[in-house]
Structures are given as structure tokens and as C-alpha cells.
Structure 1
């Protein structure tokens, strides 16, 4: 991964910082305006994580802001121009997602989040494929910022898919079978995406966090969902450990 793009065009770094700040300001404005919050319609889904799990957004925003500041401070985007463009598109998408959620149209928030997921995974993949730079913490910051973001939206997009299906009367929230299938689909997707990120454990960590939130929510409510979530955590942890071991020998 080269750093010439930011050195030759610092405007890209400024755009990255502006986008990172915009996605932080957007939910604050939404709260002050007292309008619908992302996920407000997800309460009818069995597989919705416990409320405290969504606090991960604070970490996501902090990492994004720190990486953007370092990009300008060091004059180094820790990656190709594509990496930075992916992040900018992701952060702008997050701002749009907040705005769209204000009109409480679940299927539309799903579409926005689906696009965000594509950009997030591509950015995390690029960062994960990078060799450690000097100093190494810059590369790890890039991996953390993109990986954690990608992991969380990878889980969230399936939740939004469920709420969108309910809103369009495609699925019945009282029927659990399709929700179990949705959870399995989210796990399979996460395992596949995690294969692209052998040096970015932040992706798996964010997905595991979402699964822990689901475990807390379904405990005593659904043994099936509980088992799926626990097995998924075991598989993700094992896969990440195996990939990390192999990456050390590369």
C-alpha cells in the first residue's frame, strides 16, 4: 500500500476528516431534533442485539476520527487512494443513513447500509492486506478503523434487512423461522468476509460483539437463536486465530 496519494493531494485527507466529523455530528443533530433513531423499528425482531451493544458506535466514530486526523498529521493515508475513497464513501453513507432513518423507512435504510457495507469491507480488505509500515501503529490504526466499522455494519445490514422485510409485509415478526435463517445468513456472510482480512481482527471482534448482544437479548427467549450465536462466536474466534497464526508466517 502506498502513501503517495495523500502526499500529492492533501485535499483528499481533508475530505476524509470532514466526512468523519459529519457522521459524528449527524446523530447528535438527530437526537437534538428528537426524530427517529436508527434501529427504532428493530425492536420487533428477535435477533436484535441488546441496547448496550450499539454503544460500539462510539468506538467506531473515535477510530474513524483518529485515523482521519493521523492521515492529515502524517500526510499518510495508510493505503491506496481507493482505501481513502472507500472510507469517505462509507462515512458519507453513514451520514445519509442517519438522515434517511429520520423518515423511518426501514427498507431505504437497508439499501443505504448495504452500500456502506460494500465500501467498508473493501476498505478493511485493503488495510488487512497491507504490510506493517514504520511506525507500525499507523497501519494497525487503519486496520482497526476500517475493520471494526466493517464488522459492525456487516451485522447491522442483516438486521436492517429484517426490519425492511417487516415494513414491506414480506415477513411476519411473530414467525421466528425466517429470523433464524437471517441470523445464519449473517454468520455465513461474516465468516466469508473475515477470510479477506487475515491481519484485521477488528472485523471479527465487532461481529462477535454484535453476537454477544444477541445472546443477551435472546437468553431465556429462544434456545435456537442462542445456540446459533454461540456457535457463530466459536467459529469466528477460531477462524481469526487460525488466520492470525498463518499471517505471522507470511
Structure 2
């Protein structure tokens, strides 16, 4: 049990997710269902923060921010990374772009489908990797990466981030600049997680999941309308209509 908790904790899952996973594993694999049911969210939370501290010691750099950044850049260069510090003047923001030649080679060979996402809690400042809070900053970073290699793109898979979506459209502007059109696809897992929090009614949420897996556009749109019609909450109806009715090619599996 302690090993399972530590593994899940290392991935920084939320306590409810850790609790559910441990209970399921203990019940199915170990036959400890009765004991596992005694595990509470609060206990997992306490364990999580006790373990998390020692695990993140290696993320604590120099206490001086400028020196910390300088040392990080030097380390990356020593490891063979291409590193560049840049500034976005209209936003008064700065960024650091780094990529290893082997990664750039993969981008050249397989970049027609590229996944973009941010990773949380990577350093003592609680910055993200990437820490790109606006589309201009993200776009500038993507431009830098494009300048490092011949990036042949077609699809970019992202979560439901308007920042990421806008930045992709800025950098990969498509036929307007004589380039191939770049389609942004939304991650199915992120969408379903969003529905769990936004579409509270189970029946319309189940219908939307069925719509996601429909193999035809017409069938998908029919199920979306069914979900709207059978939802008793007007705000949820409007949410589904506004966010998922006219962009099924980005999230529904019929488009694949």
C-alpha cells in the first residue's frame, strides 16, 4: 500500500484520485477491500505532503532568481541543449526555450502530430513547464522552436486551453501565409474531466460521451442535441451548445 501511495504521489495526483486508485487496487489485486475502505482523503492528503517535500528537494535551486536562471541555462547548455532567453515586449514577459537536438530531430520526423501541454510544479517558484500564461508568450516560444528545425505540422493535440489554441493559430497561420492548415485537436481525457465538473447531470453527460464516440458526424450532432433537450438545467444546456455543438471535428472521434 505504501509503495502504491508513493508512486501515485510522485506523479502529483490529487488526493481523491490517489484514494480511489489505492482502494481499487487493494480490493481487486490484494483482496483487502474491507481494510481499504477505511482509507480517507484526509489521510492521503497528509501522506502526500509529508512525502512531497523530500521528493522535491532536487528542484530547489539558488535562492537568487537571476543566478538560479543563469545556472539553469548553463546546465542545459552543458547537457547539449539549445537554449534561448526571450522577451515579449507587448506583454512585458520573459521566457526560456530549450530543446535537445535529438528532440528536434523527432519533431522534424514526427512533428505532423504534436502534443502541447503544461507541466505543473517543476521548481521552487511554482512555475509551470511551460510557464506560458498568455498566447503571445506561447506563440513566441513556438516560433523559436520552429526556427531550430524544419517542423512539418498538420495536427496539434492540446487540452481545452484558449491560450494554447490562440498561440497555435498565430504561429501556424495556414493557407493565409502559404502553409499547410494546422488543425487543433482537443484531448479526449481533458474534455471528459471537464464534463465531470461542468455537466453535473449524469444523463446528458452520458449522452455527450456517447456522442464523442459516435462514428458519424450526423449521429454525433444528433446525440449532442439529445443531450441538450434532455438536460433540465438551462445553464448546462447553454454550456453544451456554446462549447461543443459547432466544433465536433476537434473533439469527437468521428473526425479521426
Global fold match (TM > 0.5): no
Structure 1 or 2, whichever has the larger Rg, is 2
Q: TM-score, normalised by structure 2?
A: 0.30
Q: TM-score, normalised by structure 1?
A: 0.31
Task: Identify the structure with the greater helix proportion.
Answer: 1
